[in-house]
């Protein structure tokens, strides 16, 4: 009996040694099995319906692919994301993926990952690093294009009006790529006609509470506003609450444009409280896994992968809602 235990222990050791060797030099044993890959993902937080759907999609996709996912939620703080990335480096994960809360300030930690030979995939949001060898790929939407689509709807909607169109902009997290780019794309398009006037622009940090609070305050100083352009659905939903509390009709007295097209946003659009939504897909899990598998196998990956997206009017939202997954 004792002998059997010794033999079993010895062979278990051999197996684990073999596992170790495989981890150190994958090429000697051919490609890694999905079960041997470990990915560290540093998420922004849980600030919006979009983010919740994005987290769920990533977690579900990794589970389905049988790839181990270490997941952390930075509660919208860059320092927490940096800590999480450092801990993934220390743990020696195969790939690090993260959605940078703001664009600036990543060079040092990205360099640490590069020095440790751990490839980094930017998911959803960009960094402003000059050295693009600090990450292998950036998978996410074209936020400038999203802002332009919002602006184009507005230009068409008011094409027969000559009087000024007063706009309040609810900005996303200050310094975040989608906040910077959605403002830029929108501004580019509406600049063509001076009747469009952004009378106030403030951050609501991509949250419903933020959108409500900012709208409440801005409605007092701008009671004659025509349009609210919100960088995401959640802040737009907060704005709806503030508009109703002020005794006005969202979608009628004040028109609302948002970005994302999550279920709650689409419901408000179908109910006539939002007028137009530019889609931004949170379903990035499958594409992220494809990138991870290629990177681990030593294959080339595209530096920039852009999600395909559409827009929704109220009629289109009514049609799309029953099949909307998130």
| Binding flag, residue 229, ligand GYE (CB under 6 A) | no
- Tell me which residues in 5-44 interact with ligand GYE (CB under 6 A): none
Report the residue number, 57 or 234, with the smaller CB distance to ligand GYE: 234
CB of 50 to ligand GYE, least distance (A): 3
* For helices 107-115 and 78-91, angle between their N-to-C axes, nearest 10 degrees: 10
Binder among 259, 284, 289, 317 for ligand GYE (CB under 6 A):
259
Kindly identify the residues of this chain, within the stretch 184-203, that bind ligand GYE according to CB under 6 A.
none
| Number of chain positions touching ligand GYE (CB under 6 A) | 13
Nearer to ligand GYE, 254 or 277 (CB): 277
Identify the residue among 48, 55, 129, 314 touching ligand GYE (CB under 6 A): 48
We find the least distance from the C-beta atom of residue 16 to ligand GYE, in angstroms, to be 40
CB of residue 253 to ligand GYE, shortest distance in Å: 25
- Please choose, out of 16-24, 46-54, 115-123, 294-302, the segment that lies near ligand GYE by the rule CB under 6 A: 46-54
Nearer to ligand GYE, 103 or 293 (CB): 103
Least distance (Å) from ligand GYE to the CB of residue 168?
18
Q: Which of residues 94-133 bind ligand GYE (CB under 6 A)?
A: 124-125
Q: Contact residues for ligand GYE (CB under 6 A)? A: 47-48, 50-51, 124-125, 178, 206, 232, 234, 259-260, 280
């Amino acid at each position: 009996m004792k002998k059997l235990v010794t033999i079993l222990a010895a062979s278990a050791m051999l197996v684990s040694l073999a596992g170790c060797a495989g981890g150190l030099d994958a090429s000697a044993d051919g490609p890694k099995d999905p079960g041997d890959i470990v990915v560290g993902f540093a998420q922004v937080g849980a600030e919006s319906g979009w983010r919740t759907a994005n987290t769920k999609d990533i977690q579900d996709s990794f589970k389905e692919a049988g790839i181990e996912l270490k997941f952390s939620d930075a509660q919208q703080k860059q320092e927490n994301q940096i800590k999480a990335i450092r801990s993934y480096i220390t743990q020696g994960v195969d790939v690090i993926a993260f959605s940078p809360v703001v664009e600036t300030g990543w060079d040092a930690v990205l360099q640490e990952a590069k020095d440790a030979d751990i490839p980094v995939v930017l998911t959803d949001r960009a960094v402003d690093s000059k050295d693009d060898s600090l990450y292998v790929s950036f998978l996410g939407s074209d936020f400038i294009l999203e802002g332009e689509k919002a602006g184009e709807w507005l230009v068409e909607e008011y094409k027969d009006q000559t009087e000024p169109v007063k706009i309040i902009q609810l900005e996303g997290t200050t310094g975040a790529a989608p906040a910077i780019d959605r403002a830029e794309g929108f501004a580019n398009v509406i600049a063509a006609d001076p009747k469009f006037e952004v009378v106030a622009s403030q951050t609501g940090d991509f949250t419903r509470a933020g959108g409500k609070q900012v709208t409440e305050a801005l409605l007092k100083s701008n009671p004659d506003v025509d349009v609210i352009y919100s960088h995401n659905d959640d802040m737009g939903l907060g704005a709806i609450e503030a508009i109703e509390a002020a005794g006005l009709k969202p979608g009628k007295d004040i028109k609302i444009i948002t970005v994302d097209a999550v279920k709650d946003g689409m419901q408000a659009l179908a109910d006539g409280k939002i007028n137009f939504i530019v889609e931004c897909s949170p379903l990035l899990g499958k594409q992220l896994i494809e990138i991870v598998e290629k990177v681990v196998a030593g294959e080339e990956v595209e530096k920039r992968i852009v999600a395909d997206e559409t827009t929704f009017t109220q009629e289109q939202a009514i049609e799309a809602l029953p099949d909307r997954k998130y």
